[in-house]
Chain A
Amino acid sequence: MARLALRKFLMLVPVVLVVSILTFLLLNLLPGNPVFMILGPGATPKGVAQLTNQLHLNKPIYVRYVDWLWAALHGNFGQSYLNHEPASTLIHQALPVTIELLVISQIIALVIAIPLGVYAARRPGGWIDQGSSAFSFGMLAIPAFLLGVLLVGVFAVHWHLFPATGYTHLTANLGRNVQSLFLPALTLALGSLAAYVRLLRSDMIATLQQDFVTVARSKGLSSRYILWHHAFRPSTFSLVTLAGLNVGSLIGGAFIVEIIFGIPGIGSLTLHSIYQRDYLVVQACVLIIAVGYVFVNFVVDLLYPLLDPRVRRVVA
């Protein structure tokens, strides 16, 4: 098992490497370059040449990639061409914001999904079951941009419960921080909802069919007690694992929500940097996102046998 784990871990390295090469290639193939972004309409041939030299953009692409890789291995991810902030600083500012957003969104998703999943399992085919299924599908069908619009219109502008846009730091004010993240987290949560309800439901149904539940019922315990005190806990393992995994794998996926709500997370940093052809910052962002995703996958691969309910039932 340990050898398998080590081998799988080592597989991460080439994956991340290839992703970094692909990103570098793609970025440099894109039309446009940061020099014009920096100089704006005042660009003259002399200025362009001067700046291109300064930024080392005149070197061949493989040389620039190797330079980048070498520096990256020493922990230097370069600077933004535009504002000269080190890429690592920018990521250091942006990544925790996205992670906090994702954590809150998964918590919200769980809070909504758990009652729905539990009661759907209690009576499969009943109206809660059908209703929650329809609701989850409905949430899946609304694009984030439309959903964000509705949420802000109702909760931020009309009722002033939450800020329309922007982010307050965790250290500045905890209350305002959560307030500013609530609506974007909700928007994200509704997308994960369907998967959670479905998973919890199926796990609960399986657990409810087990012997110890029958025993509890014959002892005269109420359905509600059985549901929550006996059946629920064993069924949550995969749910919580899935939620945890989503935090890792959604790091690159929250960008539209970040843009709409003005959350300075890694998604919006990546997008802004692409638009400004800020190559080095994009490289660093993609690296982080890829590492996050790949690492999560690695963990899943290890844990997968435990996630599969059939395997667990057999073991139990």
Chain B
Amino acid sequence: MSLPEVGTGLIAGGTSIDPAATGIEGTATPGFGVAAHKRLGWVFWVAAGWVVLVILAAIFAGLLPLQDPSVPSALPGLDPSGSHLLGTDELGRDLLSRVVYGSRVSLIVGFSSIALGLAVGGMLGLLAGYYRGFLDSVITGAANILLAFPALVLGLAIVTFWGPSLFHVTIAIAILSIAPLTLVVRGSTVIYSEREFVSAARMLGASNRPIILREIFPNVVPAAVSLGLISVAVAIVAEGGLSFLGLSVRAPTPTWGNMIAEGQAVIGQHPLIALWPGLAMFLTVLALNIAGDRLRGYFDIKEGGL
């Protein structure tokens, strides 16, 4: 069970549904031979570049020569032209500026919700994976309960209860992401805990905390980061889904999700209104997926050559 919108096991269920996602598989990533010689590849850099571009545009949107995204500035449904590079939407607002400003909400929600989810889920996963025993059972049990809960009900309830706003949507998605992230980090931690260097550290007399912090944590981080990037992609799509239900940031603030929702009401006559934010979301999500996957392959040192 995953965040709303994405029916794949890639994020949710971590160890239980997609063994591949945990990095336990023993292969090299595509693009290279089965050799220890790993590079990120040009595809990674293009993808990362796009993400950075989108982030910069979102941050500096105010400085760019863009029209006001909330105010109709021309006739509705215009095609791309000199003054409106992507055309206008169904109320006459400039589409380019709406797509750029819309990226803000998508990115803020995407990154902050997953950052929060990783912070909480990562910590819980580390603790569960390292200490095992009762703590592990409790944390894993709680994570399973959260995962068994249909994401739809949970997300809807949270946002309906508190009201739609950037903050609440972020919290809702963060909460939904905790369980899968916990399980994945836990899986990784379990593997590392059994490695020789951890037993060596213990024999040398190190207590638990420094072991976690110095031995395990740095090894788990790269996998967590790459998983995080992929999760951000899912979170962006999830925010789009909530926008669709009118449960995200209020109009007239643009988000990619609510732009797609508005555009689909008129897709027969003006398909571009939904297409531009759809394309922006698609490219960004794709870029995040690729970057995350490449990073994961790059850091996948344990199985190299098996």
Contacts and interface: CB of A to CB of B under 8 A. Distances in A.
Direct A–B contact present (CB less than 8 angstroms):
yes
Interface of A: 11, 14-16, 18-19, 22-23, 26-27, 29-31, 120, 124-125, 129-130, 133-134, 137-138, 140-146, 149, 188, 191-192, 194-195, 198-199, 201-202, 205-206, 238, 242, 245-246, 249-250, 252-257, 267, 270-271, 274, 282, 285-286, 289-290, 293-294, 297, 300-301, 304, 307-310
Interface of B is mostly: helix
A202 B26 CA distance: 7
A255 B178 CA distance: 21
Contact of A304 (B15, B150, B237): B15
A191 B6 CA distance: 7
Interface residues of B, number: 62
B262 to A, nearest CB: 13
A52 to B, nearest CB: 21
Contacts of B281: 141, 143, 146
Interface of B: 1-2, 4-10, 12-13, 15-21, 24-28, 30-34, 141, 144-145, 147-154, 156-157, 160-161, 233, 237, 240-241, 244, 260, 264, 267, 274, 278, 281-283, 285-286, 289-290, 293, 306
User: Which of A18, A146, A195, A242 has the largest number of chain B CB atoms within 10 A?
Assistant: A146
B244 A145 contact: yes
B289 A140 contact: yes
Given A145-B244, A253-B2, A308 B157 contact: no
B275 to A, nearest CB: 9
Nearest to A109: B8
Nearest to B28: A124
A245 B17 contact: yes
A125 B31 contact: yes
A30 B153 contact: no
A271 B5 CA distance: 13
Contacts of A16: 148
Contact of A19 (B21, B149, B240): B149
Given A146-B260, A253-B151, A202 B7 contact: no
B7 A145 contact: no
Contact of B26 (A19, A143, A309): A309
